[in-house]
Amino acid sequence: MTKLRGLAWDHRRCWGPLDASVGPYCANHPGLEIEWDRRSLYEFGEGAIDRVLGQYDLVVFDHPFIGEIASGRLMVPFDEHLTGEQRQVFERDTVGKSWQSYAREGRQWALPIDAACQVASFRPDLMAAYGDAPRSHGDVVDLGRRTRKDGKWLGLPLVPTDAMCLLLTLGDPQEEADDFISRDKVER
């Protein structure tokens, strides 16, 4: 019997899918057992990654640790265990640039299993008067102008962390521009 120990962060969003997958995965791989431990969200985002790696076979970690992991070769690159087809499927099925956020020095160090990212939602009953849901930033700006004429407003997350993330989504991707927010966007 091979037993793998994993470390996840202590939130149902993380451990729920992992716990649910263990039974079916082990049923398809006789002789394998997987046990997941949990650590706090603070430890997940702020804790020292190098202190836990030696104790676990599988580790769920946040993308900001990629630089430390890659430069110190603290983990085995995940792409060594993927076929070209699997790599394409995973890259295609991730949200935004989640796949790229786990790549460094030409290697893929992990799979993005969770994305803390900005997404939009709307109430169909309120949108009915304004046509199709926006599909671009420009469409959102236009919708905001049209709804204000009717005394309505678009809602934004304003908890400090969410507000900062929203601000970052307005910036230009740094690999494509020198300015964080172009003058064109500011003037709109």
pTM above 0.85, yes or no: no
* Span 8-40, pLDDT tens digits: 999 999 999 999 999 999 999 999 999 999 999
CATH topology (fold) of 2-108: D-Maltodextrin-Binding Protein; domain 2 (3.40.190)
Alpha carbon of 84 to those of 14, 91, 97, 178: distances in Å?
26, 11, 19, 33
Name the pLDDT band for 173 (thresholds 50, 70, 90): low
The domains of the chain are located at 2-108, 124-187
- Is residue 8 classed exposed, middle or buried when 0-12, 13-18 and 19+ CB atoms within 10 A define those classes? buried
Name the pLDDT band for 179 (thresholds 50, 70, 90): low
Mean pLDDT over 72-91 rounds to 94
Q: At residue 185, what is the residue type?
A: K
Is the distance from CB of 10 to CB of 38 less than 8 angstroms?
A: yes
- pLDDT tops 60 at residue 177: no
